[in-house]
Amino acid sequence: MASPGDEGSRPNGPNGSLGSFSERNKREHSNPEIISALYEELFGEEDCERPCYLPDHREEDSRDAEQDGTVAREDKEKGGGDGEVEGESKKVKGTSAELAGSQMSNELDAGDFQEDLGARSETGHDDGIQDRDQEISLRNGASAEASFTERSVAVDGEFSSDRGLDALPSPTSSQGGTSGYMAGSGSSSASTSSISGIEAANEQDTEGTGSRKEERGARVPGKRHTEEDDSHPSWRRHKKHFFILSNAGKPIYSRYGDEHKLAGFSATLQAIMSFVENSGDTVHLVRAGDHQIVFLVRGPLYLVCISSTDEPSEVLRGQLELLHGQLILILTKAVEKCFLKNSKFDMRPLLGGMDVVLSSLIHAFSWEPATFLKAYTCLPLPYGARQAACGALQDMTDSGALFSVLMCGNKVISLVGSRKTSLHPHDLLLLSNFISSSDSFRTSESFSPVCLPRYNSAAFMYAYVQYLNKDTCLILLTADPNDFFHLKECRAQIEIVLRESNVLREVNNSIERGGLRIEDMPGSEVGPSESGSTRGDRASDDGASTSAPEAVPGAGGPAGLWHFIYRSTYLDQFIASEFSPPFTTRSAQKRLYRAYQKLHASMHNAGGGGPHKMQYRRDEDHVLLSWRTSDFELYAAFDPLAEKNSAIFVCNRICQWIRDMEAEVFLLGATPFNW
């Protein structure tokens, strides 16, 4: 679906056909039967072929990127020819950013993605996939390190090999039925997703994203308002902008609007930042009325958030850090080297279709407590079921995987790390966002290089990802790029164990049951004493002396309790209650979420006086109570008319309740994050 406007700018003709290739790929991709048929065909015949890693080819490839690329692909190579087309056409990326297909072909013009696109074009070239095609595309996709090298080199315009980057495979070389296709497009798996995302998912299997979308109020994934730029009043009115730019001022990502049109704006941002930098300082925050502009410098990357939401600047800063982490998750820190080599390095092509991943993360900033709590949440499960799942994962982890994660949506069912290592909650969040926002993971099993920024920001790991059913996703992480088949076997075994031990059924039951509801809190009808008795009761060390609950009739739980979040310090896990009335609308939920964010920031502010122990806060909207001990943190929201003493009493009871259910709502025995 190349937009016609682009055609004119391409001197070399074949791009039109490339556009249609990607379209064909889409169709192909969206058809699981074909995929699995291809898969059988591929691996049935070429069992011995290592689909994801070919060291020899990498050596070759890196010897002379351009030449080798062309040679390797021989006459079928289309991208190679385009690769020689000089920068001119690179600039003309047109307005078709929303169409990943055409975007890709544009990038091909620029010669940026010659390798990958070569692979892509090949797969698409003949609908019937021939062995040879597969071989080549596998090689290209799988020997991803080389292809990344070539890409960066090609972008630099110096076509010498760049071994400095050889730890860098292409972002996602997926494995599976359409391996050839996947290898190519999967190099940014998001490319497929952005197609589906923008084209309103009607071409894609809509079920795949179904549950999450519903949960989030039918958000259309991917970027919106792409037609805007900084001269549009509507663009200026967006409440929260995110920008990523290079330290040379090149736009890399903007949440709203077209990056190319925002080049001037991004140059202004860069000018401000470098002006301050030149004076030996670093700008962190600019505030103007309700607007805050938060800056984050990470190596050669500048990240900027412009927000008129009422979020504290520390929170926004944390969000920028996560955004950077998401980039690293896909590209590793080695991308910084490209900037060191060439400050004008254009990173956008590398991100191809990553918009959808970033947009989804940004969206999570306003509904996912994990983004500020630095903790993950678990799907409530009977203890036995979780033990069974952990057992199954543990066996596999012992046999090579670094981490095994079983997730349901954004909730963890089980997580096992080898050798007592643990996964940083942020890594888990970013990984989960990456996987859940890329539709390609839903449709087939994948083997994709990812980098866990907190674990090791310099190296890739490989994630084997397979959805076991609509919501449940198994992720196996390994350091060995050759581990695909091993992990595939592991997955099969895990799946068997999970089915046999009824874990998956329990998971479904849990989803049906939903999370904790404050109405279900036990003992809310029992009050120890009448209010007022607490005045003298100063025994409690943390100020939360017990007192009488007043069963407030009407909405919410006891004593006007509306909602709570409990975070276990040792487990790095949290549990939030389901939204009950009055939090029936999205805006009410968001308001509460923001209030929690603010409360959390206020509690944890590292500034003067150190973090607080307790906070009670009453305004027009809620009574919020936050309580921090060495074991846990509790955040609870009440009716604004709630009585202090009964609120305290209820908080104590929540803690007791959670402790009673600890085995079900938390993953016990998980090693806390400790490096």
Give the binding site for another protein (CB under 8 A): 230, 236, 268, 271-272, 275-276, 279-291, 293, 306, 308, 310, 313, 534-535, 537-538, 540, 542-545, 547, 602, 605, 607-620, 644-645, 648
d(CA 81, CA 555): 67
Nearest to 235 by CA among 312, 315, 306: 306
Nearer to another protein, 202 or 279 (CB): 279
Separation of alpha carbons 655 and 625, rounded Å: 13
Q: Identify which of residues 289 and 554 has a Cβ nearer to another protein in the complex.
A: 289
With respect to another protein, which residue has the nearer C-beta, 430 or 592? Answer: 592
Given the complex with another protein, which of 580 and 602 has the nearer CB atom?
Answer: 602
Kindly state the DSSP code that residue 354 receives in the 8-state scheme.
T
Least Å from the CB of residue 177 to another protein:
48
Residues in the chain: 675
Q: Which is nearer to another protein, 282 or 399 (CB)?
A: 282
Phi then psi for residue 138, to 5 deg, are -60, -45
Reduce the DSSP state of residue 633 to 3 states and report it: strand
284 vs 341, beta carbon nearer another protein: 284
CB of 328 to another protein, least distance (A): 22
Nearer residue to another protein within complex by CB, 251 or 353 = 251
d(CA 158, CA 150): 10
Q: List CB contacts of 132: < 8 A, sequence separation 6 or more.
A: none
**Of 86 and 542, CB closest to another protein:** 542
- The whole-angstrom separation of Cα 359 and Cα 560 is 36
Torsions phi, psi of 444, nearest 5? -155, 165
Minimum distance from residue 312 beta carbon to another protein (Å): 8
Nearer to another protein by Cβ, of 167 and 614: the residue is 614
Q: Which of 98, 81, 94 is nearest to 18 (CA)?
A: 81
The residue type of 308 is: S
How far apart are CB 278 and another protein at their closest, in Å? 9
Angle, CA 480 vertex, CA 477 and CA 484 arms, to 5°: 70
**Of 44 and 280, which CB lies nearer to another protein in the complex structure?**
280
Shortest distance (Å) from residue 586 CB to another protein: 21
**Minimum distance from residue 564 beta carbon to another protein (Å):** 17
C-alpha–C-alpha distance, residues 563 and 656, integer Å: 16
The residues facing 299 across adjacent strands are none
Report the nearest approach of another protein to the CB of residue 293 (Å). 7
Q: Closest separation between CB of residue 286 and another protein, Å?
A: 5
Residue 274 Cβ vs another protein, minimum distance, rounded to whole Å: 11
Whole-angstrom Cα distance, residue 32 to residue 38? 10
**3-class SS of residue 353:** coil
Instruction: State the Cα–Cα distance between residues 669 and 571, nearest whole angstrom.
Output: 8
What residues pair up with 412 in beta bridges, in sequence order?
378, 407
CA 569 to chain CA centroid, Å, is: 23
Least distance (Å) from another protein to the CB of residue 76? 49
3-state per-residue secondary structure call for 293-318: EEEEEECCEEEEEEECCCCCHHHHHH
